[in-house]
Amino acid sequence: QQQVKQSPQSLIVQKGGIPIINCAYENTAFDYFPWYQQFPGKGPALLIAIRPDVSEKKEGRFTISFNKSAKQFSLHIMDSQPGDSATYFCAASPNTGNQFYFGTGTSLTVIP
Amino acid sequence: GAGVSQSPSNKVTEKGKDVELRCDPISGHTALYWYRQRLGQGLEFLIYFQGNSAPDKSGLPSDRFSAERTGESVSTLTIQRTQQEDSAVYLCASSPRGDEQFFGPGTRLTVL
């Protein structure tokens, strides 16, 4: 059973566009929601993370929107660049801070 | 400082052989995770170590898989009697507090 559901599986946008990747979860014990970026042949790298006490967090061109009642969170990439082309994973972890549950990933391509 | 390192970077083995994968976490990180990533798929949790506590082994897919960690340092993941379905990238991550994870580059395992 997939604890965190991620969509879409792949996404193609033009440079300057705003790709949006969505994730949904069921377990209300989750209280830490990170997004990771992975380039081919590399391990994932933390991009941005949010806790449920806020509805939005921005870091540079990356924004997480969090809807606690809907149990959904999304990643927005402003002014996307070809260098943003990568696979993005959402994840969630319960307040015990142990096991992490990852989404299935979204392959993003930004066309110059 | 140095990040998480993993060795070997690539391993090709024959079906039925045992393999041992190594992870060197960031110094001072008390938490260590192992994940499996099959081609084009998300991260599958395998095992989690936190300090001197008993590890969370709930993600290990079979008794052919085992892992050890010496204190808060090196960890080894052992796969006995490898099968072709074990072919994947095995990722290790460490964390200072059990939230933000820092991933290594992974070991690509190919079972012929």
- Residue B53 with chain A: CB contacts under 8 Å: none
Q: What pLDDT does A1 receive? A: 67
- B9-34 mean pLDDT: 95
Which tokens is A98 given? 């142990």
> Is pLDDT of A105 > 60?
yes
Assess contact for B77 and B44: CB atoms under 8 A: no
Q: What residue has token string 């072919």?
A: B87
> With 80 as the cut, is the pLDDT of residue B95 above it?
yes
Say whether pLDDT at B1 is over 60.
no
Question: What pLDDT, in 10s, does the model give residues A27-72?
Answer: 998 999 999 999 988 899 999 999 989 999 999 999 999 999 999 9
Residue A19: pLDDT above 70?
A: yes
List the structure tokens of A102.
């990852």
The answer to whether the CB atoms of A45 and B105 lie below 8 A apart is no
Q: How far is A67 from chain B (nearest CA, A)?
A: 20
Least confident of A20-29, A43-52, B37-46, B103-112: B37-46
Report residue A84: phi and psi, to 5°: -85, -10
Residue where the block lists tokens 């008794």? B63
| Residues in A touching B4 (Cβ below 8 Å) | 43
Question: What six digits make up the tokens of A22?
Answer: 């969505």
Identify the residue among B7, B100, B101, B102 best suited for mutation to test binding to A, counting A beta carbons within 10 A and taking the highest: B101
Give me the phi and psi of B109, to 5 degrees please: -105, 130
Average of pLDDT values for A76-84? Answer: 97
Taking a C-beta distance cutoff of 8 angstroms, is the pair A109, A11 a contact?
Answer: yes
